[in-house]
Structure 1
Amino acid sequence: MKILMTGGTGFVGSAFIKRYGDQHEITVVSRHPIQAKKTLGPTVSVLPSLAELEHLNAFDAVINLAGEPIADKRWTDAQKERIEQSRWHITETLVGLCAASDHPPHTFLSGSAIGYYGRQGATPVTEDDNTPHDEFSHQLCKRWEAIAQEAASEQTRVCLLRTGVVLAGHGGALKKMLPPFRLGLGGPIGDGQQMMSWIHLDDMVAGIQFLLEHDQCQGPYNFTAPHPASNEAFSKTLGKVLHRPAFFRVPAFVLRTALGEMSDLLLTGQAVLPQRLEQAGFVFEYPQLEQALHASV
């Protein structure tokens, strides 16, 4: 399959290429083409910009994963705009290129996040739930998904990847968590009751491949494992896997003081279930948290 990918040098994109690159002809869009080529290997083609393209006739599928990291910096107004435009603008450009194509890609996979649902407490959430909490993460993902859906046509199906916390020791949230936990200084955040919906990196990239292969799939898909955990249970399980104590609690007010509104991502949560992926026949390699953490650290 000939695939155009944005975000190909990122955590998930590079993992997909490493595992499935020999099964596809992948072209990655990167502002740093020399470094991208060096990182991704000689079999991957690199474009410095989508402006190089007039249409997408040459591609069978698009995987759109680009976006400014949402949890790396305090949410100033300027940072919020960077987070939004890094997702919305590139998706709008891809949709425009689809519209300009005589033979557009048959599949358009576009990133999103479980932040679409906003804070939901401990009540299980599936793709059928249409009562999101209206906050920044929801507004961000709602607009992002709406833009991506504009690529849908009789020729192109659109799948939205509502992604949870992706687990792997070499990147993402877990990489940041490991140093204090390895020192025995880890523990719950706030009251620890906020739910964490997670997915192992191997299941994340396998799920993307699954959607590429199953042409009946379209619409939103929760990319989360079947068993979400509270932050306290997650912390205790990570401590157990590392053979370290995990009782140093980070007070909520400390996070709110340090991170402002962005602390909501850590202090609130949702118990998101992968209902539509499982109904479509996808089987998780790591459905349980402890086995996923053992495989990650």
Structure 2
Amino acid sequence: METTQARVAVAGSSGLIGTAFTRSLAADGHEVVRLVRREPRGADEVRWDPRKGYVDTAGLAGCTAVVNLAGAGIGDHRWTAAYKRELRDSRVLGTRALVTAMTSLDEPPRVFVNSSAIGYYGDTGTRAVDESAPAGRGFLPALCVEWEEATAPARDAGIRTVLARNGLVIGREGGAWGRLFPLFKAGLGGRLGDGRQFWSWISLYDEVAAVRHLIDTESLSGPVNLTAPDPLTNREVTAAMGRVLHRPTLFPAPAPALRLVLGEMAGDVLGSQRVLPARLLESGFSFTFPGIDEAIRAALR
């Protein structure tokens, strides 16, 4: 972010991206306001209840930016009807609550960065897509569409609104890679299904830098893909994990087994998403870890 001190409100500050993002802001002297669901324990915390649509609006006063990274983990549970409702409500209702709070302020923040996901595009096969591509079909694309539409009142109120369509973030402490690292370190890693599906990934370092870039870049609004420039197949990712960790990758997970264990979610694990960060690159963003090997090594450090 810019060198002048900013006040930034963050929902989802305890997750993989949120923890790294707030640490980055604080290290550069910016003031971070964390939205929490419990009683606040300090002046840097603000109470909110996304399910009830409540935000302590006074705590957002003076914020130049609001960043929403909140949402139940896509891969934390099987997609039962109840958990699909949790995935939807934690995103859509939370976004609506923040938008209502921001637009009620006498001086609303200048920018609102709201998480979305490359799940918006559905299964793209071998076809490369950028932000101009339409939404795909299925549960995740429909969820992403509703999630993004919930930001519309902020945009209509004149708040620059950016939709950060996140790829698979390479980090040790959460997300998909948080589950992969222990398996591969134990020598139990392998391709998923036939391994031909594309994975659009990004290092945690570049993810944080990209979110900060979205805040600072006045020309950016609407959807922006947060993925590295070179999507790889699951086979290629598997080979890179074995190469960097010096472990064999001899334990593939066959598609029928994944469907048995994961249920409906297996369709997205086995699906292919070849997503390019066209708008991020056009806006001048430079990746620190554009290659998979260096991104994995960065996560391990």
TM-score when scaled to structure 1? Answer: 0.93
Aligned partners of 2:196 and 2:234 also within 8 Å: yes
Number of aligned residues: 289
Q: C-alpha distance in 1, partners of 2:87/2:175? A: 17
Matched, 1:7 2:12: yes
30, 37, 40: which is aligned to 1:31?
Answer: 37
Other-structure match for 1:48:
47
Bigger mean CA deviation after superposition, 199-208 or 93-102: 93-102
Q: Encode CA deviations 1:238-275: one digit per residue, 9 max, x unaligned.
A: 00111111121111111101111011221112111100
SS in 2 for 1:150: helix
Amino acid at match of 1:4: A
Q: C-alpha distance in 2, partners of 1:231/1:137? A: 20
Give 1:57 shift.
Answer: 4.1
247, 250, 257: which is aligned to 1:247?
Answer: 250
Alignment of 1:66-145 (within 5 A): 66-130=70-134, 132-145=135-148
Q: Encode CA deviations 1:65-84: one digit per residue, 9 max, x unaligned.
A: 11011111000111000000
TM-score when scaled to structure 2? Answer: 0.92
Alignment of 1:271-282 (within 5 A): 271-282=274-285
Bigger mean CA deviation after superposition, 211-220 or 166-175: 166-175
Amino acid at match of 1:122: T
Q: Encode CA deviations 1:174-214: one digit per residue, 9 max, x unaligned.
A: 12111221122211000101110000000000011111111
Other-structure match for 2:51:
none
39, 61, 64: which is aligned to 1:60?
Answer: 64
Amino acid at match of 2:33: T
Q: Structure 1 unaligned runs (5+)?
A: none
Aligned partners of 1:239 and 1:246 also within 8 Å: yes
SS in 2 for 1:26: strand
Other-structure match for 1:210:
213
Amino acid at match of 1:104: P
Amino acid at match of 2:82: A
Bigger mean CA deviation after superposition, 275-284 or 17-26: 17-26
1, 17, 20: which is aligned to 2:22?
Answer: 17
Other-structure match for 2:291:
288
Other-structure match for 1:150:
153
Q: Structure 2 unaligned runs (5+)?
A: 1-5, 49-53
Aligned partners of 2:103 and 2:157 also within 8 Å: no
Aligned partners of 1:188 and 1:248 also within 8 Å: yes
Aligned partners of 2:167 and 2:202 also within 8 Å: yes
Aligned partners of 1:104 and 1:155 also within 8 Å: no
SS in 1 for 2:172: coil
